[in-house]
Structure 1
Amino acid sequence: MSQKLLVRRAAVLGAGVMGAQIAAHLTNAGIDTVLFDLPAKDGDPNGIVRKAIANLGKLSPAPLASKTLADAITPANYDQDLTLLAGCDLIIEAIAERMDWKQDLYKKIAPHVPAHAILASNTSGLGIDALASVLPEELRHRFCGVHFFNPPRYMHLAELIPASTTEPAVLDQLEAFLTTQLGKGVVRAKDTPNFIGNRIGVFSILSVIHHTRQFGLGFDEVDALTGPLLGRPKSATYRTSDVVGLDTMAHVIKTMADTLPQDPWHGYFQSPDWLQALIAKGALGQKTGAGIFRKVGKDILVLDLDKQDYRVADRGATPEVVEILKLKNPAEKFAKLRESPHPQAQFLWACFRDLFHYSAYHLADIADTARDVDLAIRWGYGWAQGPFETWQSAGWSQVAQWISEDIAAGKAMSSAALPAWVSARDGVHTAEGSYSPSRNAVLPRSSLPVYRRQRFPDPVLGERFAPGETVFENDGVRMWHDGDDIAVVSFKTKIHTVSGAVLDGLQEAITRAERDFAGLVIWQPKEPFSAGADLAGALGALQAGKLAEFEAMVANFQATSQRIKYSLVPVVAAVRGLALGGGCEFQMHSAKTVAHLESYIGLVEAGVGLLPAGGGLKELAVRASQAVGPGGDVFAELKKVFETVAMAKVSNSAVNAKELGLLRAGDTVAFNAYELLHIAKSEARALAEAGYRPPLPARRIQVAGDVGIATFRMLLVNMLEGRFISEYDYEIADRIATVLCGGDIDRGAIVDEDWLLKLERKHFVELAQQEKTQARIAHMLKTGKPLRN
């Protein structure tokens, strides 16, 4: 086989929740996708699939990067359309978790699978070898498991599981495809039940269930303890089970019971009575409106086992346990949890002890290295640290001794001894790599070529990546390079807000890039790209009556955006996460933006009673004029973006940001966040190699003028009368319309950029002095939510 998997067309078999969402994500990635299911009993034979595709637009979070992409998925059924498989390069089976059903389907499709195509099962835990056993010989070497986590667009993890017959090249190609094209973090798992993520993750949930009862805690109490306080998602344990579905949860537990009879913890692989009772009643969690938790009006109720009824969910973590969990030193934290007589502390120690014990005992069977387990749990379950990282940071040998003492005292869930390798080492993660018990060696990361695209992979404990050579830094930014001709500038402020030091630093970075480099990339080591202007600093200057200082800051903001736009070397913005306000404006002025799919971009100033004044409105006016050409209808172009700005809309993906007019059609959408820097540097270099020159100054901008403003006002009056906006919203939107249309001048008048920038500044400064705007800013700083006054 060639060393590159070329996927022109893919097929997904099974249009259930998971199959439809996998098809959606393939389509997000620009892959022509066919979605199959059973033929409908009556009416349109593809009715089942069409319904599933229509449902994609209703799900939250949205599986599609743009609702329009639903039309790109081809519906098909197994009775009439199997010939469509002939044109597919990748076929992913995602039907219900029944071995017999999957095998029957494989027999049916095998004659139609082309000789080069890869067939993969998105099973969450069935044996890959057993599934492969019914395939014809020539297809077995192109078959493997690929397990996406739900929801597949957002969860970074994809487990890749070979059958004993899978050709190694097939796995390498699929890993490269999943990483770059679909943006996944790939972990290779062994063919054992539930693989890595669910084997360890579901055990963790089972141990929490066991200890909840043992220590007499409430479900709400446990969720308060096992969520953000431990660096885990807000949905913690029981709420996560409700979201996943209690029936699904019970199914996964049963799979463990059926397939792992020799597991020393086998006695715990059963759904507790209360879970079975809820399922029998049809209370399956979020999808049925009730499960462990249930919402009644504004109240969240939780099941109380003592009362055999729901009560208000009001039990949290006690202050003394919260104090322990806030300790910065992990060794001290674990010692205190183990010593404390408080049932909540005892519960947490017991859960960690049994998780560490289980993970160590099974590491050799389920994974190649400890790194694979930690990354699988982080990427699949959203934990800040995996089990081995947590254990090692708390002091490997001391914790191992405590676990052994608890096993000897009969306190642990299993009497199985810790493996011998645990006491022979002082940890599993080192700077050189992570421990593999099956090879009794420390193994480095994968050497597949695709990983050369990741300058800073997601590090596990003990990993350090060279930070590059600093060119210069101030309080706001650091500019650095890797010994090549493209420099990188990163912000040092909290959530990468734009302060005076960031503005000065960016201008200095561009000056140095023009002199010493071929291009410059604005990139942040962590999300977000930028949450916008430093509101706290701005409010402080205003309230202290330093108006001249405030006006100078706005002028400097605009000057920085213009410096980005007219730099003699290409400035490329590498965006991921939030790019709001000034962060959005910086990328609008760059030569090109490379945006990670999960980029939430918006000119949100209206939400804090302001309007964009870092050149954002000016840039939208320039683009509208350029789009229509001399004498064209500028208003028609402005109308597309006016609502985006006036309603402070934020894109729900990079694709959606293009639809909203906040990214350009030619900007690049990247799927893997860890490849973003590589792609942005490549784009900057390509522009430089092509003899980059900045655009000529925009001196002939045709504006919509007074007629445009009047037309926007009519729209706004209707919104005001319909109570969609407040009177103050009207004033802000009116000023946005005024700037976008070039002010109160004749329709079709010609202005330059300076004219528009002055208008932006004038209206921004006037709004900033209003009491209502200052109240909005203060409210946003205090609560993180917009105030509608």
Structure 2
Amino acid sequence: MSKRRIEKVAVIGSGIMGSGIACHFANIGVQVLLLDIVPRELNDAEKAKGLSLEDKVVRNRLVNNALTAAIKSRPAPLYHKDFAKRITTGNLEDDIAKVKDVDWIIEVVVERLDIKQQVFENLEKHRTPGTLITSNTSGIPIKFMNEGRSEDFRQHFCGTHFFNPPRYLKLFEIIPGPDTKQEVLDFLNGYGEKFLGKTSVVAKDTPAFIGNRIGIYGIQSLFHLVTEMGLTIEEVDKLTGPVIGRPKSATFRTVDVVGLDTLVHVANGIYENCPEDEEHELFKLPAFIDTMMENKWLGSKTGQGFYKKIKNEDGSSEIVSLDLDSMEYRKKKRASFATLEMTKSVDKVIDRFKVLVNGKDKAGEFYRKNFGSMFAYVSKRIPEITDELYKIDDAMKAGFGWEHGPFEIWDAIGLSEGIKLINDLGKEPAAWVTDMKDAGVESFYTVKDGATYFYDIPKKTHEKVPGQDAFIILDNIRKSNEVFKNSGVVIEDLGDGILNVEFQSKMNSIGGDVLAGVNKAIDLAEKEYDGLVVGNQGANFSVGANIGMIFMMAVEQEYDELNMAVKYFQDTCMRLRYSSIPVVVAPHGMTLGGGCEMTLHADRVVAAAETYIGLVEFGVGVIPGGGGSKEMALRASDTFEKNDVELNRLQEYFLTIGMAKVATSAYEAYDTGILQHGKDIVVVNKDRQIATAKAVARMMADQGYTKPIQRTDVRVLGKQALGMFLVGTDSMEAGHYISEHDKKIANKLAYVMAGGDLSEPSYVSEQYLLDLEREAFMSLTTERKTLERLEHMIKKGKPLRN
């Protein structure tokens, strides 16, 4: 069998999903042909220009407008704006023949069977035999869609259901039709995980597949519980948000974002097509949803849903909430529960569930009912929607942003306790759960030798979850492979001579214990190993230095200690670069301030595509003090070319810090000079990141890694650059673009990046720049306005402009 490669795809339908899918294929370097229908009539602008329905610009209007709207939307569907060049647009009359040259055709037209069948009939006339063809349906049975198609079409046809927005949500459901070849399913499963960066889940051809069947059940059951328990929407959003490892938008805010009509469409589909479902009546919509649909209160797209933004008379805006009894909007009410207070000291979400279901207040009752009904429901969906329980957990984590799936939560509460929650509601779990318990098996999952095993129901034993061999899961190896631990880090042996140092502090902020741990990791690696990875699998790589600690020292005027702390940070970053072993840093999520500075000092960076990285210290009234200011001056110096306007190059790097620019993907970080072409790499699937970083460290060691020599040849421009910067900050302040304090910080940074007020361009050492950087940082911590900024960030979590 020849190897299948995907170089070109055709996406049919350019609505929100179609354009989003097209953008994500462009993200990973695939050429995309995006097609949509031809408009039937001219719009006013076209009439005014005297255009006709035959003009190309008119014939491609729908597809071009849809793609333009998608590219402008936020959050951005593309990793980098230039990737849009990989997408070609056209229409289904003039350009349909071009599908003969693509490797995969993805249909994303309106959810109507007759229209889909018509599209497939047209596509089959031009499709090359053997080409993959899939539908992004969210619920129409695959078996109905390929009726009347040729054998080759049916063998290469299945459902591939992306979740919206395709760049950000990781679930990729693959739904076989009656004739789909096994090799097609295997290929798509691997491609989704390796290239698209997804969690691929092969589902059965049942209504709403896995993710939406369980997800919509969860939301519908909450709708009914709200009424039954007399809860407010704020209370439910408080109970179903980050406290249980769900997105900040929790339940009702999520429905507003997704659109109530979308939710109703899927819920109605399940109600109509699953008459045998024991919770059939639950998919009936409560009265308040009917009213909202009649009023067109569909959420963000109509300007109001469960929440609504209003303008007050004084011009300020506020968000009001819907009262589900009166169906009128009112001021938001603060929700608080004693049970939630008890979880504040429990850092790990998985450890909170036991506490939550034992709560003595309304919250405890809510969780008991909510989890009890969810456990009963998911247990009975096997084998209807899938044979393997881990697929339900994978689907909920990847499609709905849950940190833990239903069976993982059940394990955390305890098998018997979960069964009790079900029984207390007058329900029963599926028979296989009772059989499993009777056989003395006490959990759905176990971990052995760094791999996760799930309870396989027909085999009645724990089997290894497939597809883990490309991953290193730190949670699974932390205990068995731990080499060293303190309150800030755990150092693990990744095998093959490579160590990993994993931050374990709150939000992975960098304080003394983390720095001590990183130094310890370098000591150990230099002595007994071949390389080091700095990586973790938290929500974010690191939000930066521990600013609470900096603020306390500055307020108490402990300047000697603060100076030592800053120097310790600088020295640690320099050790990352100048140790005798290769160091690979693996940033992902938010990688800000000090987290970014550590990344800048790696031998190589293996970044997740979703990395939001930048030097943001200006927001708290200081300049980067852990080597970031030095490094940007050094990188600017390395890009100076003969007869080049050196000042312009330096200014670009200066503005990266001065404007606190944060790249919104790893690819954008190349533009800001934080990642370097030819040296640093990007992985789309975050699950593969640690394994890839380990492989890069191993490769560098095998190639004969030599400790680099500290730089003494950094070209700085002195007075010439300083003068330009000072004139710039003066005019920025005069034009009210920046405050007086912003100007002071910018001038300090200018002094560092110019290498001081040297009379002519000179070559200096890194240490010289580090000393300037630290001096500037220290002097700013003596300023009242910097202290105000630090305090504001600690209390409010956002920057103060003073």
Answer yes or no: same fold by TM over 0.5.
yes
CA distance in 2, matches of 1:493, 1:335: 28
In the other structure, the counterpart of 2:684 is 671
When residues 552 and 395 of structure 1 are mapped into structure 2, their CA distance, relative to the original with a 3 A threshold, is closer
When residues 517 and 211 of structure 1 are mapped into structure 2, their CA distance, relative to the original with a 3 A threshold, is closer
Q: Look up the equivalent residue of 2:279 and give its one-letter code.
A: W
Structure 1 residue 166: Cα displacement = 1.6
Structure 1 residue 186: Cα displacement = 1.6
1:34-55 CA distances to partner (integer Å, 9 max, x unpaired)? 2121123445122222112211
In the other structure, the counterpart of 1:683 is 696
Question: Which runs of structure 2 are paired with 1:375-774 in the superposition (5 Å)?
Answer: 375-404=394-423, 406-407=425-426, 418-426=429-437, 429-431=444-446, 433-437=453-457, 439=458, 441-442=460-461, 444-448=463-467, 451-456=468-473, 464-465=476-477, 467=479, 469-630=481-642, 632-666=644-678, 667-774=680-787
When residues 333 and 593 of structure 1 are mapped into structure 2, their CA distance, relative to the original with a 3 A threshold, is closer
CA distance in 2, matches of 1:12, 1:268: 36
Are the aligned partners of 2:525 and 2:531 in contact in 1 as well (CA < 8 Å)?
Answer: yes
> In the alignment, which of 57, 79, 90 is matched to residue 93 of structure 2?
79
Q: Look up the equivalent residue of 1:423 and give its one-letter code.
A: T
In the other structure, the counterpart of 2:221 is 207
When residues 276 and 493 of structure 1 are mapped into structure 2, their CA distance, relative to the original with a 3 A threshold, is closer
1:172-219 CA distances to partner (integer Å, 9 max, x unpaired)? 221111112111112221110001111011011111222222333333
CA distance in 2, matches of 1:639, 1:699: 22
Q: Look up the equivalent residue of 2:792 and give its one-letter code.
A: H
When residues 223 and 620 of structure 1 are mapped into structure 2, their CA distance, relative to the original with a 3 A threshold, is closer
In the other structure, the counterpart of 2:318 is 299
1:310 matches 2:329: yes
- 1:482 is paired with a residue whose SS is strand
Are the aligned partners of 2:104 and 2:131 in contact in 1 as well (CA < 8 Å)?
Answer: yes
When residues 318 and 583 of structure 1 are mapped into structure 2, their CA distance, relative to the original with a 3 A threshold, is closer
In the other structure, the counterpart of 2:450 is none
Are the aligned partners of 1:739 and 1:759 in contact in 2 as well (CA < 8 Å)?
Answer: yes
In the other structure, the counterpart of 2:44 is none
CA distance in 1, matches of 2:337, 2:728: 53
In the other structure, the counterpart of 2:304 is 290
Q: How many residues align?
A: 768
CA distance in 1, matches of 2:691, 2:294: 52
CA distance in 2, matches of 1:418, 1:351: 14
In the other structure, the counterpart of 1:251 is 265
1:779 matches 2:792: yes
Are the aligned partners of 1:224 and 1:236 in contact in 2 as well (CA < 8 Å)?
Answer: yes
When residues 87 and 379 of structure 1 are mapped into structure 2, their CA distance, relative to the original with a 3 A threshold, is same
Structure 1 residue 643: Cα displacement = 1.8
When residues 443 and 168 of structure 1 are mapped into structure 2, their CA distance, relative to the original with a 3 A threshold, is farther
1:369 matches 2:388: yes
CA distance in 2, matches of 1:473, 1:357: 40
When residues 551 and 465 of structure 1 are mapped into structure 2, their CA distance, relative to the original with a 3 A threshold, is closer
Q: Look up the equivalent residue of 2:266 and give its one-letter code.
A: V
Q: Look up the equivalent residue of 1:361 and give its one-letter code.
A: K
CA distance in 2, matches of 1:129, 1:98: 14
Structure 1 residue 278: Cα displacement = 2.5
1:226 matches 2:240: yes
CA distance in 2, matches of 1:531, 1:221: 29
Are the aligned partners of 2:369 and 2:421 in contact in 1 as well (CA < 8 Å)?
Answer: no
Are the aligned partners of 2:446 and 2:462 in contact in 1 as well (CA < 8 Å)?
Answer: no
- 2:609 is paired with a residue whose SS is strand
Q: Which moved more, 1:34-43 or 1:664-673?
A: 34-43
CA distance in 1, matches of 2:593, 2:180: 50
CA distance in 2, matches of 1:335, 1:542: 43
Q: Look up the equivalent residue of 1:752 and give its one-letter code.
A: S
Q: Which moved more, 1:272-281 or 1:758-767?
A: 272-281
Query: CA-atom RMSD, angstroms?
Result: 2.6
When residues 444 and 113 of structure 1 are mapped into structure 2, their CA distance, relative to the original with a 3 A threshold, is farther
1:647-696 CA distances to partner (integer Å, 9 max, x unpaired)? 21211111111112211123111111111011111222222333333544
When residues 309 and 106 of structure 1 are mapped into structure 2, their CA distance, relative to the original with a 3 A threshold, is same
CA distance in 2, matches of 1:92, 1:428: 39
CA distance in 1, matches of 2:465, 2:513: 40
1:59-97 CA distances to partner (integer Å, 9 max, x unpaired)? 222211122322331112111112322232222222221
In the other structure, the counterpart of 2:32 is 33
Q: Which moved more, 1:210-219 or 1:325-334?
A: 325-334
Q: Look up the equivalent residue of 1:455 and give its one-letter code.
A: I
Are the aligned partners of 1:324 and 1:336 in contact in 2 as well (CA < 8 Å)?
Answer: no
> In the alignment, which of 182, 185, 206 is matched to residue 168 of structure 1?
182
Q: Unmatched 5+ residue regions in structure 1?
A: none
Q: Look up the equivalent residue of 2:269 and give its one-letter code.
A: T
TM-score in terms of structure 1 length:
0.91
When residues 83 and 419 of structure 1 are mapped into structure 2, their CA distance, relative to the original with a 3 A threshold, is same
- 1:363 is paired with a residue whose SS is coil
TM-score in terms of structure 2 length:
0.90
CA distance in 1, matches of 2:537, 2:424: 42
- 1:105 is paired with a residue whose SS is helix
1:739-758 CA distances to partner (integer Å, 9 max, x unpaired)? 11222123533323222222
- 1:698 is paired with a residue whose SS is coil
Are the aligned partners of 1:361 and 1:419 in contact in 2 as well (CA < 8 Å)?
Answer: yes
Q: Look up the equivalent residue of 1:304 and give its one-letter code.
A: D
1:260-307 CA distances to partner (integer Å, 9 max, x unpaired)? 122233233333343233333332211110122211122322333433
CA distance in 2, matches of 1:452, 1:509: 25
CA distance in 2, matches of 1:515, 1:348: 50
Are the aligned partners of 1:369 and 1:443 in contact in 2 as well (CA < 8 Å)?
Answer: no
When residues 514 and 631 of structure 1 are mapped into structure 2, their CA distance, relative to the original with a 3 A threshold, is farther
Q: Look up the equivalent residue of 1:713 and give its one-letter code.
A: L
CA distance in 1, matches of 2:499, 2:561: 31
Are the aligned partners of 2:455 and 2:463 in contact in 1 as well (CA < 8 Å)?
Answer: no
Are the aligned partners of 2:488 and 2:505 in contact in 1 as well (CA < 8 Å)?
Answer: yes
> In the alignment, which of 374, 386, 394 is matched to residue 355 of structure 1?
374
- 2:237 is paired with a residue whose SS is helix
Identity of aligned residues (%): 37
Are the aligned partners of 2:339 and 2:356 in contact in 1 as well (CA < 8 Å)?
Answer: no
CA distance in 2, matches of 1:549, 1:749: 32
When residues 139 and 488 of structure 1 are mapped into structure 2, their CA distance, relative to the original with a 3 A threshold, is same
When residues 71 and 383 of structure 1 are mapped into structure 2, their CA distance, relative to the original with a 3 A threshold, is same
CA distance in 1, matches of 2:305, 2:755: 56
- 2:588 is paired with a residue whose SS is strand
